A and B are shown apart, each in its own frame.
Chain A
């Protein structure tokens, strides 16, 4: 093999690697963004759905743990995106926690949860909503989810 041929092959390999690297880098950045969005969306919907079902069918202890898991995920997502959607979901999650504490006979924990719900709804709607509105809203959401 001549020196010129060797040089040509090395240059061809370098050009290929650089072009492939640039294309791959762009593709990876797009894939990373898409996957991150998909994981954020599913984290909120899967934990919410689980909390709703445990609230309906499980004992208070397990229902409490499910809604606490949902709250922990939602608080992280809210901190990440500052999206109003998550503030509303947090309001309903704390309302559910309040209802669980009520049925567990824990009035202080119930009041703490309802106060948190009021705070999140206040940040979401810009005004306070009553306890009845919170509970009715949650029931309507659950009925809607149940029909899906």
Chain B
């Protein structure tokens, strides 16, 4: 037993170090995050802290190339999660992105499953209509999809 003591001590040191590292990261990060933008005064700082994660999530999702049904479906569900946690005034921004994803999904499904394509086209049109878009016809939704696909292939 006596010979094992240094080895056990090293293991304890490493284990506690790892736990201390993880715990401190979590506590310090959350504490610092709660003080972000404080120079603006509490209501404005709080508002920026609430909008930040949703806008960052949306910004990052726009950087990814999504041009397959599976990747679009995944993006739609992650946008749904972001929308669920985002302040209400950001919903239109997320809805526009969702509308574009549904439009592209409709475009990609057109050849294989016209019923699903039509349903996605309708969802895109309904979202665009809620955003006050003047033209939400099938042609307009198809143009949105084409523009999105062209931009993504350009990337």
**Closest chain A residue, CB of each to CB of B19:** A20
Stretch at the interface among B20-28, B69-77, B112-120: B20-28
Bound Cα distance from A80 to B41, whole angstroms:
10
Main secondary structure of the interface of A (DSSP, over half): helix
Asked whether, in the complex, the Cβ of A76 is within 8 Å of the Cβ of B37, the reply is yes
Chain B residues positioned under 8 Å from A27 (CB to CB): 21, 25
Chain A residues positioned under 8 Å from B28 (CB to CB): 24-25, 28-29, 32
Is B5 among interface residues, defined by CB-CB distance under 8 A?
yes
A interface, size bucket: 35 or more
Which of B2, B32, B52 is close to A39, meaning CB atoms less than 8 Å apart?
B52
Bound Cα distance from A74 to B11, whole angstroms:
51
Which of B16, B25, B60, B135 is close to A17, meaning CB atoms less than 8 Å apart?
B16
| Min CB gap B100→A, angstroms | 9
Asked whether, in the complex, the Cβ of B13 is within 8 Å of the Cβ of A13, the reply is yes
Known A27-B25, A79-B40: A17·B52 in contact at CB below 8 Å: no
Binding site for A on B (CB under 8 A): 1-2, 5-6, 8-10, 12-29, 32-33, 36-37, 39-40, 44, 47-48, 51-53, 55-56, 58-60, 62, 89-90, 92-93, 96, 128, 131-135, 151
Q: List 26 A-B contacts (CB under 8 A).
A: A2-B2, A5-B1, A11-B9, A12-B16, A13-B16, A16-B12, A16-B18, A20-B21, A20-B23, A21-B20, A21-B23, A23-B21, A24-B28, A25-B25, A28-B24, A32-B29, A32-B33, A42-B59, A43-B48, A54-B92, A54-B96, A57-B134, A58-B131, A65-B92, A73-B48, A79-B44
Besides A15-B13, A62-B131, A80-B39, 13 other A-B contacts (C-beta < 8 A): A9-B8, A13-B16, A15-B17, A19-B20, A20-B19, A20-B23, A20-B24, A43-B52, A45-B59, A54-B92, A58-B131, A62-B92, A77-B48
Binding site for B on A (CB under 8 A): 1-2, 4-5, 8-9, 11-25, 27-29, 31-32, 35-36, 38-43, 45-47, 50, 53-54, 57-59, 61-63, 65-66, 69, 73, 76-77, 79-80, 148
